[in-house]
Structure 1
Amino acid sequence: MKPAILTAILIIAIAGNMILGYQLYGYIHPETISSSGALNYSELNGTQAINVTSSSNSSFYFRYEFTVKLHLPHEGKYCIVINPTNFSSLVLLIYFQNGNTVSLSLNVTKAQISVDHKENKIKVYIYGRINQLPSLKKIISSLHLKFVYLGHDDHNSDRNNSKLSPPSLTTGKREKKRP
């Protein structure tokens, strides 16, 4: 092969590795965390949930799905973190209206997302097995789900970084239509 072609391939490979390495470093070492707060689950009453349980060896299988409105203090990058307790198996799927999807489990407890709006309607699916009789509030409190604000996206760097308040979570059913 010609030296010019080999040099071009080498430069492309090095550039690709640098880009992938930078992205991997960003996921392993997130930016300075500005705020962390637990979500407000007090307004989850009345959500439509499908609960299928069966008992075997004192564990219960469950499945819940519901739509909620998520209120975040700022737009930008967030790390979604769970610290599940009392689960034998768990899958948590979160679908955002902008197309982002987050999948968390007992083995994968963190995911980083970019949020374009402060208010997001999200669809949540929770599947798994727990050691106690499940209810939606028990399941959510056992998840210890948190949204940790990491900072603004690179394309949103001109916005201010004011003090943050914890995000809140409300059901879509309690919203009132505004004229």
Structure 2
Amino acid sequence: VSQGTDFSNVISGTGSFTQAGGGTTTMAAGNTYTGTTTISAGTLALAASNAFADASNFVMSGGTFAAGTFSDVIGTLSLTGNAALTLGSGGALAFADSDAISWGSNTLSITGTFVDGFSIRFGTDATGGLTSQQLALISINGNFGTTIDSSGFLVAAIPEPSTYAIIAGGAILGLALLRRRRV
């Protein structure tokens, strides 16, 4: 596709799909094609969950994959150029083990707003996923408060109990000062 378009019908068969233009293409159906999905320019956006076949591998040589608030299980992820992944709240992406695929020095920038638990997984278990070199090529930008662990899972930072103790102590001190001032 060289221009943005909306696909609301199922794409099936063994062929591949390439987003090559500068526009935005949306996928709104449960596609069953098993060929590779390539994003080289523009934006390929989900408009429904499960828009790609589980075996459909992704090649990103530029452009953006906008998952939004939707969920999908996808094949391996290959980077042949710098690319971006945009996430929204409440969805989930699961890529197949991609540690055997060289990304070279290409980077993946994960952006968006992460409020209600969007999850992303690279790999299916603790032995696969991504290599440490691949993990080093991923940057997370936006309102996330998360990191990617060594297994390739995007995890939310959980505050230490001491954080809550400091907040509670500050609240109690504030109430004591307020009460003392009134007396």
> Above 0.5 in TM-score?
no
The TM-score, its normalising length taken from structure 1, stands at 0.24
Task: Between the two structures, name the one with larger relative contact order (CA 8 Å, sep ≥ 6).
Answer: 1
The answer to which structure has the higher helix fraction is: 1
The answer to which structure has the higher strand fraction is: 1
